[in-house]
């Protein structure tokens, strides 16, 4: 028999064995995508999403890490990005409504979404008003109920610290310390907060990466229609209509109505077991209850507790490996550093 023919047949058998589980192909055909493995992969996804981004460098990410943990970017000198997006707590704060300057709860009763994998969202903020992480980073710094630091004061604070001035000059050249560059550096660090999971291994062809129960949950997740909003690389992160079939039972908590068209950013389901409470106003603490509520509100169907538990098994597989973060040593304040205002 022709040896070339034999090799061709063997190759076809091998390829077939890699996609032996039809659920893998069904998940991918439904729009689910594995996380990128490096920054080039991140940039490809951002390009596909039409999201702008600046050049990535390790030096810029390291500077951004310092700024992410920098409490002096807040007027009080005690709140940093990590306060509400705690990297040790799934990238959230674990409370219903974010607490900011003077320990005031968010006036709209909005819950802090996770920062992990957030670079891969096509929209930022619950109302989608920012398209990039850099634009998003500016908002909390300036917002009075959050860090309460006007852009000019933020620049003044960072410019008073020679170590930062030197780093900004090295990375950004003549422009140095500007509010745009502060936000860009923070966003660059946040680009590194990618959390690959067993589910990504499954999408890449490892059918044993998910247990039988988790695969049953994925099947139900697709069949029930959850995939309609929770799709793409982040299983969420895009703007979607809310309260399509029924009213959300906790809609009265806070005054948030979405954007001008009533659209709301769909939260990512990655690491969802670590990011309770759920929904934009943090009103539901049980993932099983959240799944059932979404069935009613978005799909107009009844999802039983048993079905929700099966879907929850799949969602557990989205808990990913976190990057190792070493808490940075920050520059010492100088006589020129503006004093904190409590």
Domain membership flag for residue 322: no
The answer to whether residues 224 and 179 belong to one domain is: no
The answer to whether residues 117 and 27 belong to one domain is: no
The answer to whether residues 146 and 100 belong to one domain is: yes
pLDDT of residue 175: 98
Alpha carbon distance 303, 44 (integer Å): 36
pLDDT of residue 20: 79
**The dihedral formed by the CA atoms of 184, 115, 191 and 291, expressed in degrees to the nearest 10:** -140
CATH number at residue 142: 1.10.760.10
Domain membership flag for residue 139: yes
Along the chain (342 residues), what's the average pLDDT of each consecutive run of 10 residues?
A: 44 48 97 97 96 96 98 98 98 97 96 98 97 96 97 98 98 98 98 98 97 98 98 97 97 96 97 98 98 98 98 98 97 97 91
Domain range for 133 is 40-190
Model's pTM, two decimal places?
0.93
Residue 306: how many other CB atoms lie within 10 Å: 8
Domain membership flag for residue 58: yes
Residue bearing tokens 């040790």? 88
**Which residues belong to the active site?**
146
Alpha carbon distance 84, 118 (integer Å): 14
pLDDT of residue 19: 56
């Amino acid at each position: 028999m022709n040896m070339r023919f034999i090799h061709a047949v063997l190759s076809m058998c091998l390829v077939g064995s890699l996609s032996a589980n039809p659920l893998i192909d069904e998940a991918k055909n439904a729009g689910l995508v594995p996380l990128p493995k490096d920054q080039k992969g991140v940039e490809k996804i951002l390009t596909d999403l039409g999201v702008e981004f600046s050049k990535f460098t390790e030096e810029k990410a390291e500077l951004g890490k310092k700024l992410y943990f920098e409490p002096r970017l807040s007027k009080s000198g005690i709140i940093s990005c990590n306060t509400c997006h705690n990297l040790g707590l799934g990238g959230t704060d674990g409370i219903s409504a974010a607490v900011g300057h003077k320990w005031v709860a968010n006036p709209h009763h909005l819950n802090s979404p996770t920062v992990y994998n957030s670079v891969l969202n096509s929209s930022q903020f619950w109302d989608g008003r920012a398209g990039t992480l850099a634009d998003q980073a500016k908002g909390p710094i300036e917002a009075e109920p959050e860090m309460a630091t006007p852009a000019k004061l933020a620049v003044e604070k960072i410019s008073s610290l020679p170590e930062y001035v030197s780093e900004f000059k090295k990375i950004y050249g003549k422009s140095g310390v500007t509010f745009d560059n502060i936000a860009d550096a923070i966003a660059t660090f946040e680009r590194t907060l990618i959390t690959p999971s067993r589910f990504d291994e499954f999408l890449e062809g490892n059918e044993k990466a998910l247990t039988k129960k988790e695969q049953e949950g994925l099947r139900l997740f697709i069949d029930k229609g959850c995939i309609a909003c929770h799709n793409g690389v982040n299983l969420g992160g895009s703007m979607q209509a809310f309260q399509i079939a029924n009213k959300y039972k906790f809609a009265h908590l806070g005054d948030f109505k979405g954007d001008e068209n009533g659209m709301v950013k769909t939260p990512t389901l990655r690491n969802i077991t670590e990011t309770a409470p759920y929904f934009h106003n943090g009103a539901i603490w049980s993932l099983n209850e959240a799944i059932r509520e979404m069935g009613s509100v978005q799909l107009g169907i009844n999802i039983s507790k048993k079905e929700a538990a099966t879907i929850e098994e799949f969602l557990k597989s989205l808990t990913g490996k976190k990057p190792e973060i070493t808490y940075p040593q920050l520059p010492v304040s100088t006589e020129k550093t503006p004093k904190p205002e409590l």
